Amino acid sequence: MLGSKIEIKDEFWKRYIDLIMTEMIPFQWNVLNDLEDIKIDKERDDANIPSEKSHAIENFKIAAGRTEGHHYGWLFQDSDVYKWLESAANVYKITKDDKLNDMMNEVVELIEEAQEDDGYLSTFYQIDAPELKFRKLYESHELYCAGHLMEAAVAHYQATGDERLINVVKKFVECIQNHFGSEKGKIKGADGHQEIELALVKLYEVTKDESYLKLSEWFLEIRGQDPDFYKKQLEENDDLGIDDKKPFQVNTVYHQAHKPVIEQTEAVGHAVRLVYMAAAMADVAYYTKNDKLFKASKRIWKNIVKKRLYITGGVGSTVHGEAFTFDYDLPNDTMYCETCAAIGLMFFAKAMMKNEVDAEYAHVMERALYNSVISGMALDGKHFFYVNPLEVNSESSQKDPGKSHVKSTRPSWFGCACCPPNIARTLTSLEKYLYSEKDDALYVNLFMDHSGTVPFNNQEVEVEQKVSFDDEGSLVLKVEAPNTLTLGIRVPTWAENLSIKQTGSDVDYEVVDGYAMVLVEETLTLKITFDVPVIMHQAHPRVRDDLGKVALQRGPFVYCMEETDNESDLHLMRLKDHIRAEKVSDSVLGSHVALKALGEKRVIDEEWNNALYRNYKEPVYEEKDLTFIPYHLWANRSVGEMMVWVVKK
């Protein structure tokens, strides 16, 4: 398959992409090579950080026999290297920077060298526990890391044309095929952390080798067939005396291995695992025409978007297991909403689009991207949220252990480094999310300035967008196709009075499945205009934590109040009316649209000085102007309170 060749020119997104190129990639390189100390702020970082160094490259050097020593870090430390490589390849595709290519080559050679003759590659097990290879799948992350290696290989190949990593991966897959499968004597289970499933589809897309697709399907289908699979592996190790860890009951719901995936109806367990799995289900369903798999992925999708999705596009209602909980349980200040989970939700949406046309997939993808995903990264490119709360009170974060995971400021790099490199690889490959193809139509899903070509019907279509939604919304969309094509332009839920014009005259269009369908005959330049009103959302009344509250949105951006603009005690404020958008420029936040509104703040009268409780008196409020900023910009100026859902008078 041909990839998109698109240059993102959007000021908003360039800012992020530049930060990744200039700050993250070099910094992470230094970290992986232990050239940079990982600064761990005990007050701010998670307690379960294994170390103050990465050792990730060193692990590969030991596995390759270049140096000696023990593995160090998480079981999935290798994936840091692979994710870096994927991001670096994405950046190289843009910059063609020789120095970056040298760095990538260094890593590629090291990976080649570290791979064993039979194709196996996982530095922890190679170095310190060869007897346990593929024998502790509930936690080993061997296939998870293999998946990230595949994604890196595909990105590297697409950026450089170099097939070396693809060959490493092919050899690794052979090794996996030799060990896993329905044949007698082979392992009948999948990795505890889904990832290889979606990566194998990417590998298939590049190589067209159907065995990769089959292997992915097999991993999806074997999952949960025997809910005791992980436990049995542990017991077997115990029987053989090769593992000193006592067998225990594995929480199979956490791994979505409690029942076969095609029987699963709800989003449960670890949120990242769930969305990665569901993305693979939809991907595989599309290519293999596996309808049961598609139906199951759609049930899970609907369960998320109708009952378990935060307005910011975040998922994962609890820190315990970083997991989904139950329908309408969406607490704003104790949730997890991991950056990686929002990214995984984008993968899931993108995979669903392959199967059917429904603008809801792109709506949700956009919601996640513009809010929960980019909230994960500070405007300095050096600090990152894993947890993206919708409400923060810094005293609670510091003094309530139940909220200690909810930070009111982005910690510096690392510890468990999953989220930052995930942001890096996603934001450097945005071109993959802009368009989709289905049933002989080309669909426009996201709106940002860019130009380039997208594959369609095995040909290339030239596209260009010039977007603005600061004042009135407008989108200039240029399409040049070798043949006639049907274009579906997503009608955002946040746009009103959409009009499509071509050289001054109205274009007739019909909205089908949320897309404005327009016929393109070779070349077409559309000028699309729309209003961008402020939307006041309310949540389903069963969402206890949002009752009586509203959340504001304008364009794709969800808004929040911060203490720095509104004083402390945000919970005492309530929104009245007169909400207006105002373009502002801030030395830290840059140019953005803020929302101003008329509100009220509850008065704490003097009688309260000496009382915790008193007989009821009608509360007194005083008028107060309220300021809202786009959610993703929060926590860039000062430490303080933040709140998305605000009481509505």
Binding site for its own copies (CB under 8 A): 305-307, 309, 311, 317-321, 323, 325-326, 328-329, 334, 393, 395-396, 399-402, 535-544, 547-548, 550-551, 569, 571-572, 602, 604, 608, 610-617, 619, 647-648
- Residue 19 or 274: the one with the smaller Cβ distance to its own copies is 274
3-state secondary structure of 256: coil
Round to whole Å and give the CA distance between 320 and 336. Answer: 8
- The smaller minimum CB distance to its own copies, of residues 44 and 432, is found at 44
Of the candidates 129, 167, 165, the one whose C-alpha atom is nearest the C-alpha of residue 149 is: 165
Q: Smaller CB distance to its own copies: residue 27 or 621?
A: 621
Residue 527's Cα: distance from chain center in Å? 31
Please count the residues of the chain. Answer: 649
Q: Give the three-state DSSP class for 623.
A: strand
Burial class (CB in 10 A: 0-12, 13-18, 19+), 82: buried
Pairing of strands 646-648, 573-586: parallel
Closest to its own copies by CB, 20 vs 365, is 365
CB 234: neighbour CB atoms within 10 A? 21
83/418 Cα distance (integer angstroms):
9
Q: Considering beta carbons, is residue 110 or 536 the nearer one to its own copies? A: 536
Find the distance separating the first CA and the last CA of the chain, reported in whole Å: 54
Q: Are the CB atoms for 558 and 644 separated by under 8 Å? A: yes
**Residue 484 Cβ, how far from its own copies at the closest point, in Å?**
36
Pure H helices in 356-482: 359-367, 374-375, 394-399, 419-427, 431-434
Whether the Cβ atoms of residue 405 and residue 336 lie closer than 8 Å to each other: yes
272 neighbors 79 (Cβ within 8 angstroms): no
H/E stretch holding 466: strand 459-468
Residue 319 contacts residue 389 (beta carbons within 8 Å): no
β-sheet bridge partners, residue 558: 553
Residue closer to its own copies, measured from CB, 18 or 577: 577
> Which tokens belong to 221?
């289908």
In angstroms and rounded to an integer, the radius of gyration of the C-alpha atoms of the chain is 25
What's the one-letter identity of residue 421?
Answer: P
| Shortest spacing between CB 328 and its own copies, in angstroms | 8
Q: Measure the CA–CA gap between 533 and 546, rounded to whole angstroms.
A: 22
Q: How far is the CB of 612 from its own copies (least distance, A)?
A: 5
Structure tokens given for 182: 């329905």
Strands (E), 134-276: none
E strand or H helix that includes residue 220: helix 210-222
503, exposed or middle or buried, with CB in 10 Å at 0-12, 13-18, 19+?
exposed
**Burial letters 265-290, b for 16+ CB under 10 A, else e:** ebbbbbbbbbbbbbbbbbbbbbebeb
Which is closer to its own copies, CB of 484 or CB of 613? 613
Smallest separation, CB 393 to its own copies (Å):
8
Which tokens hold the place of 395? 């005293």
What SS3 class is residue 565? helix
Residues identified as active-site = 322, 418
CB of 490 to its own copies, least distance (A): 18
Question: Are 149 and 172 within 8 A, CB to CB?
Answer: yes
Residues ≥6 apart with Cβ < 8 Å to 155? 85, 86, 89, 90, 93, 425, 429
Q: Cβ 301 to its own copies, closest distance in Å?
A: 13
Looking at the Cβ atoms of 196 and 319, the one nearer to its own copies is 319
Residue 552, SS3 per DSSP: strand
Cβ-based nearer residue to its own copies, 27 or 328: 328
Query: Smallest distance, Å, CB 471 to its own copies?
Result: 22
CB of 402 to its own copies, least distance (A): 6
For residue 390, the minimal CB distance to its own copies (Å) is: 13
Q: Which residue number, 21 or 311, has a Cβ lying nearer to its own copies? A: 311
Shortest distance (Å) from residue 617 CB to its own copies: 7
SS3 state of residue 573: strand
Indicate the residue among 309 and 340 with the shorter CB distance to its own copies: 309
The CA distance from 108 to 111, in Å, is 5
Nearest-approach distance from CB 141 to its own copies, in angstroms: 23
Residue type, 425: R
